[in-house]
Every structure is written in C-alpha cells, then in structure tokens.
Amino acid sequence: MSELVTEEPWRQRFRGMRVLEVLRVERVTPLMHRVTLGGEEMRDIPGGPNLKLVIPPRGTQEPVWPMRGLDGNPVMPPGHPMPTTRTYSVRRLDRGTGELDVDFVMHGDGIASTWAQEARPGDKIGIGGPGGLEVRPADWYLLVGDHTALPAISRILEMLPADARGEAFVEVPDRSEEQDISYPAGVSLTWIHRNGLKPGESRKLEEAVRAAPWQTGKKIFAWMAAESAVVRSLRQYVRDERGLNRREFLAIGYWRRGMSEPEYHEKFDHDRGEDYHEIAHEEELRQRSDHAH
C-alpha cells in the first residue's frame, strides 16, 4: 500500500506564500532591528535577494492567510481582512540551520516596522519568495545604497568572491548606524553620515559616487538602491555618463518621499525601468532552458 503524499501547504496559498515563525529578535543598531524567521516551511525555500512580507492585522493571535482562488486571485474567508504586503531584502538565508534574517529600519509607525518592533518568538508571518535579480560577476563592483539598502548591501558584500574588487558607499543617519560587515580585502566601504538631514533630503551619497575615480578597462557591475530621486540620478550617471549597458547595472528605488510603498509600486514600479524587466525576462527564460536540460 503506497503512502499518501501530502502537498506542501504553501502550494495552496496565493502565489505559493509560506508561513514562517519568529525564532528570535535582535536590535543590531539603535535604528536597525533584526527578526530571524524559521519553521517547517523553510524546507526547499528558494534563494534570492528580495521577499514579500505578508503581515497579518495587528493583534491577530491566529492569522488567516490568503489562498489561491480559481481565477488566480487571493481569496480570504469572510470576515477576515487581507494581510498587508511589503517588500524587504533578505539579510541572510541559511538553509543549513533553517533560518532567514530580515532587517527593519525603525522609522515611525510603519506597518512592517511596527510588526518587527512587536514581534516575539512564535509569532507567524507570511513570505513570498525569495527571488529577484542578483549581482552579476564583474572585475570591479560599485555598490551604493542608503540606510534602507544596508541589509541588501551587507548580504552582497558577504557573498562576493574573496578576490573581488570594488567600492561600496552606504548612507546612514550617523556613526551609530554603522555595522560590522565582512567583505573582501579588495573592496573599500565608505560610510556617509546624514548628520541631522532627514531621509531623502541628503545628496551626499550621490555626490560621493560622482566624486569617486571611475574604473576603466574593466568589467564593471553597479548595484544601486535608495530613495527614488537618488536612484534615478545614479542610473543616469552610470548608464548615460559612464556608458554601462543594461546588463552591467541594477538600480532600484526602495522608497519615495511622501509616498507609501504600494503607491510607489503602482505609480512608478520602484523606478526599476525597462532595463530591469528585460533582464528579469531573459533570466526567467534562461532558467527555464536550464531546467529543461
């Protein structure tokens, strides 16, 4: 008699969403809060730099999750509000220990940062992914980001090959937000302090990148993530002024002043542009081809 095969529960949920639980929390710096997630549904979790957090309504003891409807849209049982979705970076994914770290910048009363602030071991949260475009191999790397991009840049730095060369520029509020990060000896890391300027008001990050010597005669990859206006300007700089082609850079607006993430995504698609989506489509086709063979 053959065993009954139980389908993984996330396959029935909207977009294959997994439900993980909080293992522990840690305040990394005064404004950066880390939540470590785990649980049975970490099994066979995909890799990638980004994920969707599916956050249950505040105070919910037993969250109810959206299921996949017949038309492909999310379906919730009557009387249960739809959870809130926010996009975050993967800080660390360790399949060996079954752990996933997500870092949150503590800024006011945002839905995600409030959830992280109140999270306790055993709490549940949904995630979609991880996935997204990764940094591509190069002779020289340029990594640029503001405080919200620090978790992503930290992950990239720690994953670079030991012989990697390049420069990283990270803007944070002040010295207290600097973190100890492991990175190759051939990479330099420059911390830029806003020193009282509000997020999105400073142009110090862009100015530092433009003032840095540009590498010539090398295969370059530039990764840039920050507030919308900064990302737009830096994309123009590396593409139009420095001549990088669309496979040699990745520029994403993580946020936009005066706008919620859902509104920013709907109106401006996080300033990803046609370059991003063309590359993503090419990568999807390549992965399908690899699986077919």
Tens digit of each residue's pLDDT (9 = 90 or more) over 93-121:
999 999 999 999 998 778 999 999 999 99
Rounded alpha-carbon distances, angstroms, from residue 72 to 56, 66, 264, 266: 21, 11, 24, 20
What is the Cα Rg of the chain in Å?
20
The domains of the chain are located at 9-131, 140-283
CATH code for the domain defined by 140-283:
3.40.50.80
Mean pLDDT, range 71-88, rounded to an integer: 92
Lowest mean pLDDT among 3-17, 159-173, 230-244: 3-17
**Beta pairing, strands 67-68 & 74-75:** antiparallel
Over residues 122-175, the pLDDT tens digits come to: 999 999 999 999 999 999 999 999 999 999 999 999 999 999 999 999 999 999
DSSP secondary-structure letter at 256? B
The enclosing H or E element of 55 equals strand 50-55
What confidence category does residue 18 fall into, taking pLDDT thresholds of 50, 70 and 90? Answer: very high
The predicted pLDDT at position 164 comes to 98
Sheet (strand 84-89) strand order: 84-89, 50-55, 124-131, 18-29, 32-38, 99-105, 92-94
Q: Are 35 and 123 in contact (CB under 8 A)?
A: no
DSSP secondary-structure letter at 239? I
**Beta pairing, strands 124-131 & 249-255:** unpaired
Residues 6+ apart with CB under 8 A from 53: 85, 86, 87, 88, 102, 112, 115, 125, 126, 127
- How many percent of the chain have pLDDT more than 90? 73
In the block, which residue shows the tokens 């010539």?
Answer: 216
Q: 213 pLDDT exceeds 80?
A: yes
Query: Do the domains spanning 9-131 and 140-283 agree at the CATH topology level?
Result: no
CB-based burial of residue 201 (10 Å sphere; 0-12 exposed, 13-18 middle, 19+ buried)?
Answer: exposed
DSSP secondary-structure letter at 248? S
The predicted pLDDT at position 148 comes to 96
What confidence category does residue 5 fall into, taking pLDDT thresholds of 50, 70 and 90? Answer: very low
The predicted pLDDT at position 100 comes to 98
Q: 1 pLDDT exceeds 50?
A: no
Which carries the bigger pLDDT value, residue 117 or residue 199? Answer: 117
If we measure between CA atoms, which residue out of 190, 193, 214, 212 comes closest to residue 204?
193
Mean pLDDT, range 58-80, rounded to an integer: 90
| Buried b / exposed e along 52-91 (16+ C-beta atoms within 10 A) | bbbbbeeeeeebebbebeeeeebeeeeeeeebbbbbbbbb
Residues 6+ apart with CB under 8 A from 197: 204
Average pLDDT of the chain, as a whole number:
90
DSSP secondary-structure letter at 214? P
Backbone angles phi, psi at 18, to 5 degrees: -100, 150
Over residues 38-53, the pLDDT tens digits come to: 999 999 999 999 999 9
The predicted pLDDT at position 140 comes to 98
Architecture in CATH for domain 9-131: Beta Barrel (2.40)
Q: 4 pLDDT exceeds 60?
A: no
CB-side neighbour CA atoms (13 Å) of 108: 4
What confidence category does residue 258 fall into, taking pLDDT thresholds of 50, 70 and 90? Answer: confident
